[in-house]
Amino acid sequence: MLTLDEAFKKFRSRLELNEREQNNASSRHQEMREHLRGDFALDDDFLTGSYRRYTKTKPLKDVDIFCVLGQKEKHYRNEHPESVLTAFEKSLAKKYGSKAVSQQRRSVCVDFGVVVDADDNTDYRVVSMDAVPAVVCGEGYEIPDKTEGKWIKTNPKTHAEKAIQAQEAYNSEWKGIVRMLKYWNNYHDKPIKPSFLIEVMALECLHPPFGGRFDYEFQGIFATFADRIFDIWKDPAGLGTPVSDMMTQDKKEAACTALKQAARQATLAIDLVRQGKNGDALGAWRELFGPKFPLS
């Protein structure tokens, strides 16, 4: 039977992208970028977000493609943010069909119609990708936010640098823990939104170095997140609107309840190990995290 430490390391490994998944993602994003370059004058386009920061969890969804508008497209910056999102939506619908394309708050999503099975497997395929229009602004960028009705500043390079620093300070375990937290969040119908908020909270709430015990780490993380979910969490780059602005008071209350329940479940699982019931403990962690957590 797996020890608890072995189980967590296997869980962490299961959430890492393998070569087949990376190849499929590469093929998909190159296809999307080539199509968009045919309809828009782009100065640059590149992968960003949690995929680029290696904090994306499985199943692989919503991989971000930053599309930096060239001079011919700069007029969109003077229009309502929904204008450029609608233009991107129409362009991608020509390629993938209108049913597969949907406009979001700051991006346009393409769903590739991949079915996720009961064990969260996708046959090593990416489920969806998001095209994010952007314009250069100083050392960073501005992206459209149709909810706010304005273009907001962001800098994905700063986000990536902070993730690298956290990974180094946390004995190379920070990104794996973030992936596991995101998997928990997905499994419980995303009480924390957006998932980037989990990363932002983890930057402040996970105090290095890594303590060496995943079970105690998660017990503490869930309890701390429950206490801190009501805070205003600003963009780590110091730009744009707070990352937590999608969380209404009702949503924060619901997230707090889910996090407290997770902390209690972690405490129960830890107690089962103390009683010598390792198999039951593994089952309790699987119940908490979902089907990717191994029992053997």
- Provide the CATH number for the domain formed by 18-154 in this structure: 3.30.460.90
Q: Could you say which DSSP state residue 13 is in?
A: H
Summarised one tens digit per residue, pLDDT across range 45-61 is: 988 888 888 899 999 99
Average confidence (pLDDT) over 124-135: 95
Q: What is the pLDDT of residue 48?
A: 86
- pLDDT attached to residue 139: 84
User: For position 235, what pLDDT does the model report?
Assistant: 92
Q: 248-286: per-residue pLDDT in tens?
A: 999 999 999 999 999 999 999 999 999 999 999 999 999
Query: What single letter denotes the amino acid at residue 145?
Result: D
What ranges do the domains of the chain cover?
Answer: 4-13+158-289, 18-154
The CA-to-CA distance between both ends of the chain, in Å, stands at: 6
Of 202, 205, 156, nearest to 176 (Cα)? 202
8 Å CB contact between 73 and 47: no
Q: Could you please report the per-residue DSSP string of 113-133?
A: -PPP-TTS--TT---EEEEEE
Query: What percent of the chain has pLDDT above 90?
Result: 87
pLDDT given at position 51: 86
Quote the CA–CA distance of 220 and 232 in Å, as a whole number.
20
Evaluate whether 166 touches 174 at the Cβ level (below 8 Å). Answer: yes
Both tokens of residue 135? 């314009």
Q: What is the pLDDT of residues 66-123, one digit of tens each?
A: 999 999 999 999 999 999 999 999 999 999 999 999 999 999 999 999 999 999 999 9
pLDDT score for 52: 83
How far is residue 181's CA from residue 198's CA, in Å, rounded to a whole number? 7
Render 172-211 in DSSP notation, one character per residue: T-HHHHHHHHHHHHHHTT-SSSSTHHHHHHHHHHS-SS--
What percent of the chain is predicted at pLDDT more than 70?
100
* Cα distance between residue 213 and residue 195, in whole Å: 24
pLDDT beyond 90 at 241: no
Name the pTM for this structure: 0.92
Helix ranges, the chain (H): 4-14, 19-39, 49-53, 81-96, 156-169, 174-187, 196-205, 214-228, 249-274, 278-289
The mean pLDDT of 226-238, rounded to a whole number, is: 95
Count of beta carbons in the 10 Å neighbourhood of residue 30: 12
Report d(CA 144, CA 89) in Å as an integer: 13
Q: What pLDDT does 100 receive?
A: 98
